[in-house]
Structures are given as C-alpha cells and as structure tokens.
C-alpha cells in the first residue's frame, strides 16, 4: 500500500467555485502533514502545513482527521492562478524524517 | 523563505557519461539535504538523504554506486549520476532542511531535468 494516496483528478472547475481534495495516509504514526503546490515542470512549494485543529489561510482551509487517516484541502473562490497540481505530503518519522509525497491532484480553473 | 538553488537546470548527455548536479542552500546552513526523482505524471520519490560530513542514506532500490552523493559543506550537496542511461532520464530535485526547523519543512531547489540520449 502506498504511504500517501490521492485522487489524481483532473478537477476542472469554473472561476469562483469551491473545490476540495482529499488524501489518505497509511502510517498511523505520521506526525506532520502538508499541502504543497507544484506548477508544471517546477519544484514543489509549500502551500500550508496541516494542524490537528485544522487551519485556514485566506481562501485555503486544511483539515486533518487522524482517526480516519485523511487530510483535506478546501479552496474557496477559485482563481485562474490556482491551476496547479496539489501534493499531499506526510512525514512518516523514520530516521531522517523523510517526507512522503502523494502523486498529486491536478486542478484546472476555467475562466 | 529560504532559497535553494540547483545547477544545471537542464542537461542532455549521451548514454554512458556521468552527470553532476549541484544543490546549494543560499541563505541558510542545510544540515540535511534530500535528493528526489520525479518521473512524468508520478510523485516525487526520495532517493537519498545526506547529512553534512557523513555518508548518505539511500532508499531501497537506489544504487549508491550509481548515484553518488557528496555533502561536503553545510551549503552544498552534489549528486553524480554515473554511467547514465536513458532510463535515468528524469526530473531530479533536491531539498534542504536547516536548523532550527519547525514542522520538518524542507525547501526545494528548482530541479534539474536530465535527458540521457
């Protein structure tokens, strides 16, 4: 079983729409969770960390459900510039604190 | 945020040659650097973890004699792909983590696209 699983999409949504992505992780001992954004042929960039209590940053809201081992990302009022691949990332606490990446969910916001 | 650079950004080489990729942390000291590989439409896969001044730790299935990693200073790590073959063509990305670091954040370099003919 993969460490991190995501629906690859693609999600095609109109501007202004609300879209949600989910991700599941397999290691119940995982301690840190992140959403990264990756534009085509570019490196991943940290979008936000995911805290146990849930957290919000502008139009972006992240939630963590430890019991069900899933993480979600909600994007409100989608902008064209939100088009990218969103990577769910989990730190599985193994030696050097490696990050495990999901395959990413592709979002395209349509005018 | 912290800046990590990689050089070169793109390289095309003939099969059998060796290619060196540099990863530098520009404004912080990176005690740990990570090397990832990403094939098209796939997730980043960790290849190895290197700590300054010590040998790299390789992930299962990654040949240490083929992918040579050197982390000689707190700001520089190099990955050398020896005797490259077409199946080594990929996007290689490094990341760096310094201290103090909260939430294990890693800062990624812009990546190196390797094409082996």
> How do residues A18-62 score in pLDDT, each as one tens digit?
999 999 999 888 888 999 999 988 889 989 989 888 899 999 999
Contacts of B113 in chain A (CB under 8 A): 41
Q: Is the peptide bond before B67 cis (omega within 30 degrees of 0)?
A: no
Q: How far apart are CA B11 and CA B28, in angstroms?
A: 27
C-beta atoms surrounding B95 within 10 Å:
24
Interface of B with A (CB under 8 A): 1, 32, 34, 36, 41-46, 49, 51, 57, 91, 93, 97, 103-106, 108-111, 113
Contact B113 A41 (CB under 8 A): yes
Identify the pLDDT of residue A95: 47
Give me the pLDDT at residue A58, please. 95
Cα dist from B68 to A12, A42, B11, B40, B50, whole Å: 41, 24, 17, 23, 11
Minimal C-alpha gap between A109 and chain B (Å): 19
Which among A32, A99, A105 is the top mutation candidate for probing chain B, defined by the most B β-carbons within 10 Å of its own β-carbon? A99
Check whether B103 has a pLDDT greater than 50.
no
Place B64 in a pLDDT band, splitting at 50, 70 and 90: very high
């Amino acid at each position: 079983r993969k460490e991190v699983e995501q629906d690859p999409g693609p999600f095609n949504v109109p501007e202004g729409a609300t879209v949600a992505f989910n991700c599941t992780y397999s290691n119940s001992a995982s301690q840190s969770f992140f959403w990264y954004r990756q534009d085509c042929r570019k490196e991943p960039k940290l979008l936000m960390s995911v805290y146990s209590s849930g957290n919000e940053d502008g139009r972006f809201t992240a939630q963590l459900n430890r019991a069900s081992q899933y993480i979600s990302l909600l994007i409100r009022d989608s902008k064209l510039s939100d088009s990218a691949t969103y990577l769910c990332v989990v730190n599985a606490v193994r030696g050097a604190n490696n990050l495990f990446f999901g395959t990413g969910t592709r979002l395209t916001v349509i005018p | 945020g912290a800046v990590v650079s990689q050089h070169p950004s793109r390289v095309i080489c003939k099969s059998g040659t060796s290619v060196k990729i540099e990863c530098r942390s520009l404004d912080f000291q990176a005690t740990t650097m990570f090397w990832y590989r990403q094939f098209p439409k796939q997730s980043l896969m960790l290849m190895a973890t290197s700590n300054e001044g010590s040998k790299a730790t390789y992930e299962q299935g990654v040949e240490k004699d083929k992918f040579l990693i050197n982390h000689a200073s707190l700001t520089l790590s190099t990955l050398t792909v020896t005797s490259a073959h077409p199946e080594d063509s990929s996007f290689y990305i490094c990341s760096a983590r310094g201290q103090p670091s909260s939430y294990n954040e890693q800062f990624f370099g812009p990546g190196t696209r390797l094409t082996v003919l």
